[in-house]
Amino acid sequence: MKCTLRLWFYITIMVLSIQSKGQDIEQMTNQKPLVINGTLGLGVGTYNSNGIPARQRAFSYLLSGAPTVSVYGVSFPFSVVVGDQQRGFRQPFNQYGISPRYKWVTVHAGWQSLEFSPFTLAGHTFLGGGLELNPGKLRLGFVYGRFNKAIEEDPNQVSAFAQTPAYRRMGYSVKLGYGTEQNHFDIVVLNARDEPGSLKNPVTFSGINPAENLVLGTSARFTFFKHVLFDFDLSGSIYTNNKLSDTIGSNQLRKVALIRKLVTLNTSTQLLAAGQGSLGYQGNNYNVLVRYRRVDPDYKSMGAYYFETDVQNYTVEGGWRLLKGQMQLNGSLGLQNDNILHDKAYRSNRKIGALSASYNTQDYGIDLRYSNYGITQDRGLNPIVDTLRVARTNHNINAMLRYNINGDLLAQGFVLVGNIQSLVDLNNFTSGQNTSNSKTVNFSYQLSFVPRSLGLNANVNYTVADISFGRTVFYGPSLGLDKQFAKGKYGLNASVSYQQQQNNKKDAGNLWNGNVNGSYLMSKRNAVSISFSYLKSNSRDITLPGFNELRSSLNLTHSF
């Protein structure tokens, strides 16, 4: 009987495993029963090089197709690739799920990735089913499925590229709440466990152990007086890293008899917590927000893939809009530290601050931004050696100016961008080896002849970087042209760029790059394009001699 039920379950999953997240059943009847569309493409290319080993084949081809079959508005995409270097057929049905919705009932089936709260069920993909009910302000949810499939260990492929073995992991999550998306309070439970008998062969090299996890979390969002915003997420995780470890004496667990029924407790069990919250005020022209986040070291949930752990953050941010939104001022300050349980040798403290100001109209604008990132170390269990202490500050300044002249016959655009980045080492013992400063300036000009569908552009860039072992300078111009004929039926664009490099005031060589591309729209469904690219490097570096490359390609595309 169990085998029959399991068979029917997987047949149902296969039938329903289609790409239809949140599909409203009432709308499906308005869709066409069957629609087939997509694209087919054929491309050929040539390559020639001189001075370096060839980086691709002299002749290449690629036939590709991307058909999509739609049944009552539900899409089944396929992809086919046949080329001289790769061949394949792909259909993503193995990772598809459906979530049909009817009024306040949503059913989940197949492959799903859901979030009930940030520290419990938070985006981990599983194969299974579930149900969400939202009658009125009730918020009810339940999911059950396989979070990991069993993968046997292969002793003949013990390397960084070998597939990581895993036990089959089954689990469920329940959400009970009340409210709306803007104002609600939820309680979430997640319980998942590995099945030791899901692997036929014992694990000897990878060192994985069957684990088990019980997570209890609360999540809330509230809005007061239309302007005050408050939210928090709190979770506690009981994580047993090895279900086969020695158990704890029963006399010590009498007070947690209910928890013992839900999760295995033994010497490998950890109880850890995570939480975050924010309080803000949203005015008509300004806003301010205070955030706090804390995650215990090694906090884990089987309903999520990854957390940044052993971290505590304090953040304050705000913004101010002036002149009907044309001018905006924003700022933020954040403090972060690790070693929150005071069990590490050292403690790292980070400071992140940012200020930005912008003023933009249709014809001109200016944007300014300054950010500061600093990190220092304090003693933890051990004192800090001054010669090894980390104390650095990174300054970053960005500015952009733009000016447009728009007309019916002629349009022009000017953009000037600058960036200054500086790393300051505050430790006198290591500052000489950690110098890093860079400055970049870029100016671009665009000219458009509107009635002729003709565009010209010019660009000049200059970059200088100072590091501990010297200075490197890059600079050079680029020019481009874009032309459309016969109301876009024909297209042509070309560009050429030049870049000069200097290392410690010595000529290090230059680089030329040119591109020409053409396109022709033969019909509404058929198009052809051709391109040529030439690259020439005149390097003065004996370890990287000069070379040149020539590439060309021809592509045909058909849409159906």
Q: For residue range 165-199, what is the model confidence (pLDDT) as tens digits?
A: 889 999 999 999 999 988 999 999 999 999 998 98
Q: What is the 3-state secondary structure (H, E, C) of 280-335?
A: EEECCCEEEEEEEEEECCCCCCCCCCCCCCCEEEEEEEEEEEEHHHCEEEEEEEEE
Site of tokens 């009817």: 102
**436-449 and 410-425 as β-strands: parallel, antiparallel, unpaired?**
antiparallel
pLDDT for res 255? 57
User: What are the boundaries of each domain within the chain?
Assistant: 1-93, 116-308
CA–CA separation, 461 and 302 (whole Å): 49
The predicted structure's pLDDT at residue 280: 96
Provide the pLDDT for residue 262: 80
pLDDT computed for residue 257 by the predictor: 64
What pLDDT, in 10s, does the model give residues 98-119? 888 888 999 999 889 999 999 9
pLDDT tens for 351-382 read: 889 999 999 998 999 999 999 887 766 666 66
Q: Please, which residues have CB within 8 angstroms of residue 508's CB and are 6 or more apart in sequence?
A: 472, 501, 502, 539, 540, 541
Spell out where 450-488 has E strands: 454-467, 470-485
Please state, in angstroms and as integers, the Cα–Cα distance from residue 373 to each residue in 332, 398, 458, following that order: 12, 15, 35
Reported as a pLDDT band with limits 50, 70 and 90, residue 17 is very low
Q: Residue 534: is its pLDDT beyond 70?
A: yes
Q: Report, as an integer, the average pLDDT of 207-227.
A: 92
For 477-531, the pLDDT digits (tens) are 999 999 998 888 999 999 999 999 988 888 888 999 999 999 999 988 999 999 9
Q: Which of 204-213, 297-306, 318-327, 544-553 has the lowest mean pLDDT?
A: 204-213
Residue 248 has a pLDDT of: 66
Q: What is the pLDDT of residue 99?
A: 83
Averaged pLDDT of the chain: 85
Is residue 216 scored above 60 in pLDDT? Answer: yes
pLDDT for residue 72 is more than 90: no
Among the ranges given (195-209, 252-266, 508-522, 528-542), the one the predictor scored with the smallest mean pLDDT: 252-266
Q: What is the pLDDT of residue 54?
A: 87
Lowest mean pLDDT among 43-47, 105-109, 177-181, 345-349: 345-349
Structure confidence at residue 96 (pLDDT): 72
